[in-house]
Amino acid sequence: MSRAWILERRPQGMPQAGDFALKPWPLAPIEDGQIRVRNLWLSVDPYMRGRMNDVKSYAAPYALGEPMHGGAIGEVVESRAEGFAPGDLVQHMDGWRDEAVVAAAAAQKLPALGVPPQAFLGQFGMPGLTAYAGLLHVAEAKPGETVFVSAAAGAVGSTVVQIAKAKGMAVIGSAGGAEKCAWVKSLGADHVIDYKAGPVLRALHEAAPDGIDVYFDNVGADQLDAALATARLGARFAICGMIDIYNHAEPTQLRYIARVIAARIRITGFLVTDHFGRLPDFYRDMAGMAAAGQLQREETVVDGLEAMPDAFLGLFSGANTGKMLVRL
């Protein structure tokens, strides 16, 4: 009997164990155009927190009493769809469960890029495309510019660091704790800021005495404010996420917001879904960087479907270095 994580009630603030329940979830027999997939890897991502609220946003809210959704990599075990055969590895969005019946149109066979399957949930998947499109297209970062990226030890941030270095930019990354900072430095970052060790603003002033040209925001709050304070003339901010505020009702406090005027800062929010058309470029460019040895990949792996809520909550306490994954 297949099982799935059900949203039992909508979390208030930080989600609690009782907000979710792992329950048997029987699957219907597959119909024409469908495949049955045994999931191997499940993704947990910060944006899922928003889907747990009953608020219309860019992604539909999860329904109460129904399985949650998210990125998944699995093996086709039964197919009534042309082009899919048992044994094929596919990517789809019916995560948070061990098995799924999905429309073939909603599944993609993994491209042959010489990386392991779970990489398509991270550096070669949505987090990677988010990094790529946000840095190069939304923020229009150019060689020679100085890029600040927050949550630089995360799935998106660590890819931003590496793409930026591969493209000839100076990079400052922030992360929490000495171990993560050391890893971000090992990725090639010119400076690393440990946000747990002191005020980010002071550290950013020291790391970039002439200011920053680009800020890739995964965090919001104090780190956004520090970026506003240190932005150079014509700086561009790509706002990808604000993990610091997803579980909080308090307003964000910005001391330096008026600098958008003097420094003519451009702040742009974006979603990876607007950039799916860049996937071919992204795969080609990333495969080239990987072949040139410019990409390292780190995963924090949690084993077993039972542990999935812990993996999800770990995103908000900084439990992951690189992509957080659940292995079934």
Residues interacting with a copy of itself, by CB under 8 A?
50, 57-58, 220, 224-225, 239-242, 245-246, 251-255, 257-271, 274
Nearer to a copy of itself, 78 or 140 (CB): 140
- Fill in the amino acid letter for 65: G
Instruction: Name the residue nearer to a copy of itself (CB basis): 169 or 267.
Output: 267
Task: Look up tokens 């790529």; give the residue.
Answer: 132
Q: Residue 265 CB, nearest distance to a copy of itself (Å)?
A: 5
Considering the complex, state which of residue 92 and residue 236 has its C-beta at the smaller distance from a copy of itself. 236
Identify which of residues 115 and 242 has a Cβ nearer to a copy of itself in the complex.
242
Distances (CA, A) of 232 to 75, 213, 236: 48, 6, 9
d(CA 9, CA 61): 12
Minimum CB separation of residue 250 from a copy of itself in Å reads 8
Give me the least distance between CB of 117 and a copy of itself, in Å please. 29
Run of H or E residues at 223: helix 221-230
Say how far apart CA 162 and CA 132 lie, in whole Å: 10
Q: Give min distance, CB of 50 to a copy of itself, in A.
A: 8
Cβ atoms 124, 150 nearer than 8 A? no
Which of 214/263 has CB closer to a copy of itself? 263
Q: How far is the CB of 208 from a copy of itself (least distance, A)?
A: 16
User: Minimum distance between the CB of residue 316 and a copy of itself, rounded to whole angstroms?
Assistant: 15
Q: Nearer to a copy of itself by C-beta: 72 or 221?
A: 221
Cβ atoms of residues 67 and 2 within 8 Å: no
> Smallest distance, Å, CB 227 to a copy of itself?
13
Least distance CB 269 / a copy of itself (angstroms): 3
Half-sphere exposure of 82 (CA within 13 A, CB side): 0
Return d(Cα 86, Cα 28) in angstroms, integer.
18
Long-range contact pairs involving 112-117 (C-beta distance under 8 Å, separation at least 24): 113/283, 113/286, 113/287, 113/290, 114/287, 114/290, 115/290, 115/297, 117/40, 117/41, 117/73, 117/89
Least Cα distance to 123 among 314, 328, 323, 326 occurs for 323
- Taking the least distance from each CB to a copy of itself, the nearer of 138 and 163 is 138
Cα–Cα distance, 52 to 59 (Å, whole number): 10
Gap between the Cα atoms of 321 and 310, Å rounded: 15
Nearer to a copy of itself, 69 or 191 (CB): 69
